[in-house]
Amino acid sequence: MAMYLRRAFSCRNVGLVRIRSSSIFHSRNFSNIVCNSSSILCDSQTHNAATVPGVDFLRESRRGFAKGRKSKDDSGSSSDDVAVDIGPAVKENASAQMDAAIVALSRDLTKIRTGRASHGMLDHIIVETGGAKIPLNRLALVSVLDSKTLSINPYDPNTLKALQKAIVSSPFGLNPKEDGERLIAAIPPLTQEHIKAMCKVISKSSEDVKQSIRRARQKALDTIKKAGSNFPKDSAKRLEKEIDELTKKFVKSAEDMCKAKEKEITQR
């Protein structure tokens, strides 16, 4: 505010000096000054007009600085859009999902009764004791005495009766006998009908796990596709090929496991 007042007073003084000097120096051309009360206003406006280019220069400079800063920011943001190698993460996730499917298949196959004794064949049996339902493998240690006999040793002898009842109720057709503080279960020979039924179960388990493996493959391919231009095309094709090879590997592993289980059942 003080600056504007000083400018106004200086413009007024300049106008008065010019008015007075115009009467002495008539030979000079001061046509731009009108010697009346409005000349002060005119000079003041002329002075203000003279300052406009300076203001415009400052405005343009500020705009240029702002544009420069914006372009710098834009260039900085563009530098962030660097292609990221998503290959290891995608491959690792797909492998983990496929491996989980194989683990689940292995667990399911151990539950299928064959003509031979297996320590894991009773793991899925649920035992009711003390008002709770608990898996058999948490209540007893199952061991193989020979190819046709299982031994069930309870951690708590008080659960012996409950273990026996649960095993008899299972679809395995076992009839364990008490032998002191443990149970002895003889594995009966498989009938032809039972063998056919178990083979169907194995075949279904094989298809289920292969579908899970293929779903993991599709998820990996979708992730590669979503990456778009941020992932080089050559790297994307190479990664897709690696995912396909990984899929084939796990599918073959599932098929081999199921074939081995069928062989175990049929060659009793």
Q: By percentage, how much of the chain surpasses pLDDT 90?
A: 41
Q: Is pLDDT of 166 > 50?
A: yes
At 150 the pLDDT is: 93
Nearest to 120 by CA among 256, 251, 259, 264: 264
At 42 the pLDDT is: 38
At 34 the pLDDT is: 37
At 25 the pLDDT is: 39
Q: Is pLDDT of 254 > 90?
A: yes
At 207 the pLDDT is: 94
At 124 the pLDDT is: 79
Beta bridge partners of 150: 144, 185
Q: Is pLDDT of 159 > 90?
A: yes
Residue 7 and residue 13: Cα distance in Å, rounded? 10
Q: What's the whole-number mean pLDDT along residues 212-235?
A: 89
Cα–Cα distances (Å) from 137 to 43, 131, 140, 260, in that order, read 105, 18, 5, 24
In which band, very low, low, confident or very high, does the pLDDT at 233 lie, cut at 50, 70 and 90? confident
Asked which of 31-45, 49-63, 254-268 is least confident by mean pLDDT, the reply is 31-45
At 192 the pLDDT is: 86
226 vs 30, residue with greater confidence: 226
Q: What's the whole-number mean pLDDT along residues 132-138?
A: 92
Helices 87-110 and 192-227 cross at an angle (nearest 10°) of 170
Q: What's the whole-number mean pLDDT along residues 121-131?
A: 87
Domain ranges in the chain?
A: 87-113+191-267, 126-186
Global pTM reads 0.55
Architecture (CATH level 2) of domain 126-186: 2-Layer Sandwich (3.30)
In which band, very low, low, confident or very high, does the pLDDT at 44 lie, cut at 50, 70 and 90? very low
Give me the numbers of helices (H) and strands (E) for the chain, helices first please: 6, 6
Q: Is pLDDT of 225 > 50?
A: yes
Which fold, 87-113+191-267?
Topoisomerase I; Chain A, domain 4 (1.10.132)
- H/E stretch holding 185 reads strand 182-186
Q: What's the whole-number mean pLDDT along residues 153-160?
A: 94
